[in-house]
Amino acid sequence: MGSYSKSLVVKIKSDAVIKPDGEIDQDIIADMVEAGFSALSPELDAIASARELLGNPDSIGMKVNTIGGPGMSTRVGLVNALAGFLKSAGYPLKRQIIWDRHDEELANVGFSVRSRGDGPYCFGTDHIGVGYSQALVSNGQIGGLLSRLLVDYSEVVINVPVLKDHGVAGITGALKNHYGSIHNPNKYHGANCNPYIADLNALEQIKSRQRLIVMDALRVQFHGGPAYQKRWAADCGMVLFGTDPVAIDTIGYDIIEGLRSRAGLESIKGSRRQPIYLNTAADYGLGINDVTAIKIEEITV
């Protein structure tokens, strides 16, 4: 049996994964995905690690983030590599669903929207026949309807966010990615999105399904986000793996702060948009936001 450290964040990096034309090298990103699964449980090989982590679900939902458009969304190449690895681990493509809010946003960044034929399937909550569950959910200061892609189509969820600066929340990563899982995210942007992000992620419907976070830090928006701003975007060639969304976001926050420092920008910490929701999420027991308590394993491919 493998063992998964709740506080482990695996950083897989390659200087060659982003090709000169800006596209993703599929062979290298596939190696990075395999390395991530291997590192999560060192006693097991990558496939055995995935099987133990994900179990034997009827469906695996991959929640991507496509609101940022072609320049700053979850990379299709990363998701394709993830889907291919899952297939090799015994999860047929027809049991995999790539999803976000809107068909149009998915298509705009290069995903092939389809709900029939060969998998993996890929469509948005607004896809015909999908929509939001009519069961109202509430927790703390949030209340709304969850996407049926979460509650009805995804027995387990792999959260595949992209790491970005955010003008209100400070940073957006794994936790905030679930704003794309509820029908009324516009209501939850006051007070640095605190405690709303934590309240949303504390919902049992999210906690019970989410097994893994694979954070796209291939290109990071370290200022001016969440929209793509070329001036403040850095090609980092990095993917983060972990099971703790708070720890992943905490390390992501640290990456953004490092990029800001090197660019001569002021720290987000202590500013009006410091991501205090990370503290709240940790207080809720959703994960660890103390960098000194997070084990970081760095792998170069």
Average of pLDDT values for 185-213? 98
pLDDT value at residue 27: 98
Asked if 145 and 182 touch (Cβ cutoff 8 Å), the reply is: yes
Residue 3 has pLDDT above 60, yes or no: no
φ, ψ for residue 248, nearest 5 deg: -60, -50
Helix (H, G, I), strand (E, B) or coil at 113: coil
Residue 270 CA neighbour count, 13 Å, CB half? 3
Looking at the chain, the whole-number percentage of residues with pLDDT higher than 70 is 98
pTM for this model (two decimals): 0.97
CA distance 230 to 220: 10
Q: Please, what is the average pLDDT of the chain?
A: 97
Q: Which two tokens stand for residue 249?
A: 């976001």
Q: Which of 1, 4, 2, 44 is nearest to 295 (CA)?
A: 4
Average of pLDDT values for 165-193? 97
Average of pLDDT values for 99-113? 98
CA distance 242 to 283: 19
pLDDT value at residue 101: 98
**pLDDT tens figures, 149-178:** 999 999 999 999 999 999 999 999 999 999
Residue 54 has pLDDT above 70, yes or no: yes
Q: Which two tokens stand for residue 176?
A: 């905030």
Average of pLDDT values for 181-191? 97
CA distance 140 to 187: 14
pLDDT value at residue 6: 72
